[in-house]
Amino acid sequence: MNDIVLKTEDLTKHYGGVHALEGAHFELKRGEHVAIMGDNGAGKSTFVRQITGVEQRTRGKVWLYGEKVDFVGPLDAREAGIETVFQTLALADHLDVPDNLFLGREKTKWDWLGPFRLLDYKAMRKDTLDALERTGVKIPNIRNTIERMSGGQRQCVAIARTASFSSKLTIMDEPTAALGVQETAQVENIIRTLKEAGEPLILVSHNMRQVFDLVDRIVVFRRGRICANLDIKNDKYTGEDVVSYITGAKTGEEYMDTAT
């Protein structure tokens, strides 16, 4: 049972009359990297928002490592071990890298001082360097504030942040959508490092080449429903196949009844 990192059953989200997500059955195994693809409005981000507790689902069940979970908010999901890198980065622009990595979970000394307890900068710097090394993130100077960094470096900090707290599941929502070629390569290298470390990952992406380079399996969403589940490890599928699933030219056999 615990080989399944994340499982959803009949996961559904309606916004008023709009059926953004309908009956999603999804499974993620230990160490597996899965990509979620689909056209705009196909339900990818809605799906992510339900499992990370950002929104409350209309219907359905979610299990994390075999345990049924009901997150009331993103913090709840985070405490349970789901780390998310959102399209809009949740970083404090005026703070530096260690500050951002440890925001809300600072290492402190003299805890008897309550809210005025001292920050253990030295320990946080050391752990930051360790975390960056582990994820292969390269940042010229960790004392730089986020506002002085390129989009790619910011994304790397956001990813390093998820990776530095031994998360149980990492979710990235279009991590390279706004990045240049070099920066994209840097983020992709981090994802490979996570793969080697056996960290499970859900990657939402539009980039076909990237997905084929990085993940084991592609799940395609169309009009709020999952319409294909493609194991791409054995070169059975090409980018063209995936495109026809996305556009609706093809539908996975097991989804014939439900997908539209």
Strand, helix or coil for residue 46: helix
Interacting span for another protein (CB under 8 A) from 6-14, 38-46, 186-194, 207-215: 186-194
If one asks whether residue 112 binds another protein (CB under 8 A), the answer comes out as no
If one asks whether residue 99 binds another protein (CB under 8 A), the answer comes out as yes
If one asks whether residue 106 binds another protein (CB under 8 A), the answer comes out as yes
| Contact by Cβ (8 Å): 143, 96 | yes
Among 74, 81, 151, 252, binds another protein (CB under 8 A): 74
Among 141, 166, 235, 253, binds another protein (CB under 8 A): 141
Interacting span for another protein (CB under 8 A) from 15-23, 87-95, 166-174, 240-248: 87-95
Interacting span for another protein (CB under 8 A) from 6-14, 30-38, 143-151, 170-178: 143-151
Among 32, 51, 85, 152, binds another protein (CB under 8 A): 152
Backbone angles phi, psi at 23, to 5 degrees: 55, 50
Using the minimum distance from each CB to another protein, give the nearer residue, 2 or 141.
141
Q: How far is CA 173 from the centre of its chain?
A: 6
User: DSSP of 66-132, one letter per residue?
Assistant: TEE---SSHHHHHHTTEEEE-SS----TTSBHHHHHTTTS--EE-GGGGGGPEE-HHHHHHHHHHHH
User: What is the rounded CA–CA span in Å between residue 68 and residue 98?
Assistant: 33
If one asks whether residue 94 binds another protein (CB under 8 A), the answer comes out as yes
Q: How far is CA 52 from the centre of its chain?
A: 9
User: DSSP of 97-109, one letter per residue?
Assistant: HHHHHTTTS--EE
* Residue of 46, 44, 25 whose CA lies nearest to 36: 44
Using the minimum distance from each CB to another protein, give the nearer residue, 192 or 209.
192
Using the minimum distance from each CB to another protein, give the nearer residue, 51 or 242.
51
Amino acid at the residue 185: A
Binding site for another protein (CB under 8 A): 74-75, 78-79, 89-95, 99, 103-106, 108, 113, 115-119, 121, 125, 129, 132-133, 136, 138-145, 148, 150, 152-153, 182-183, 185-186, 189, 192-193
